[in-house]
Structure 1
Amino acid sequence: MKPILTDEQLVTQLSQSSKPAFEEIYNRYWYKLFCISYHQTGSKEEAEELVHDLFESLWNRRLESNIKHLSSYLVISLKYLITNLVKSRITWRKYQEYVLLNKMQEISSTEDNVQFNDLSAAIDRAMKKLPAKTSRVFQLSRFENQSVKSIAKELHISEKAVEYHITRSLKLLQDDLWIYQTDN
């Protein structure tokens, strides 16, 4: 039976490129990190990918890192990766909103009011396909310009739920309104 190494011993061995030390760190912390990641993302695939990225980074930076408390280091590093994922989601959602609203403005500024009226009717039909709460969240966000925080407070739901409903609305609108998109 091999001796159980402390985190400090594992970090020392890792800095010397010990693959068995890396494997022990992985085995010791993978599940805990996966649970944290899954709780934050709600997606098994994203959680696994984030934990994989964390361990890949740990191995790639093994010679330059100065880890004092392994458990804390891993959890904080994972939370940093999760934060970056959330920021990228927000950026992507903002981009989708920009494209959608830009297309709406292009059509409204053209002389062809029939197309604009068709688009308005298509938006109304798409909004009616949404569940009531999702539609309400989108209306408060996009048509009444309320913040995520104020919508969450008004509807008694979490900010994460508000973001989910907005993303869901945008996806449906994008899918339903694809015919109005142009190549330029």
Structure 2
Amino acid sequence: MYSQEDNDTDFIQHLTLTEEHVFKDIYDRYWQKMYRLAQTKVGHSENAKEIVQEIFLDLWQRRKEVEIREIERYLFTSVKYKVLDYIKQEILRKRYIDFVVTNDSDIDCDSEQKIAFKELSTEIATGINQLPEKTKIIFEMSRMQFKSAEEISNVLNISTRTVEYHITQGLRLLRIYLKDYIVISFFYFCNLY
């Protein structure tokens, strides 16, 4: 078992051997600190949990290819960049909502803007429909019905960690699916202001 006295270099050597218990030890050692940092930056518990879960999921998925010299620095730098990504996405989301609200009440709304809105809505719906079934159900409960991870856990009789995993997976897959479209939309909507 990895103890706090062990140095990060030894730990990383173990991690590259893909031993699950070593990965769990690093998760247990750093999760709470990373969560607190993310929460102070994004101000919302669920979003902070998603950020940290995404970092650990990414680390686990890339464990055979990633080279890390200092695990603590790597993890906290990852939090920094994920928080920046989150803030950028929030700015885009707020601009998009402002755009929709403004143009929804504007009778003279530009037809190009209406088309862009319809396309984005269609792409989001298509992306959600392509999620694995369980992920789709949990994602819709979280994002469309605004249920917390705990509420979903109780309804579906699964652990909150499982719920958080599926929400994180849903967001990750949706981001991948919408990656090109969101970049185009971001520049389009930024030009409106």
TM-score range, shorter chain: 0.5 to 0.7
Partner of 2:93: 92
Partner of 1:35: 36
Deviations 1:74-118 (A, max 9, x none): 011111111111111111111111112223332699xxxxxxxxx
Partner of 1:162: none
Q: Name the % identity.
A: 29
CA positional deviation for 1:7? 1.2
Partner of 1:77: 78
Deviations 1:29-72 (A, max 9, x none): 11110110110111111111111111111111111111111111
- Partners of 2:2 and 2:82 lie apart in 1 by 33
Larger RCO, structure (CA 8 Å, separation 6 or more): 2
The SS at the match of 2:107 is: helix
- Classify 1:71/1:108 alpha carbon distance in 2 versus 1 (closer, same or farther; 3 Å): closer
Moved >2 Å (runs of 4+): 1-5
Partner of 2:60: 59
- Partners of 1:64 and 1:100 lie apart in 2 by 45
CA positional deviation for 1:5? 2.6
- Classify 1:17/1:106 alpha carbon distance in 2 versus 1 (closer, same or farther; 3 Å): same
- Classify 1:84/1:94 alpha carbon distance in 2 versus 1 (closer, same or farther; 3 Å): same
- Partners of 1:19 and 1:42 lie apart in 2 by 31
Q: Max radius of gyration: which structure?
A: 1
TM-score w.r.t. length of structure 1: 0.54
> Which residue identity lines up with residue 9 of structure 2 in the other structure?
E
- Partners of 2:36 and 2:96 lie apart in 1 by 30
Partner of 2:11: 10
TM-score w.r.t. length of structure 2: 0.52
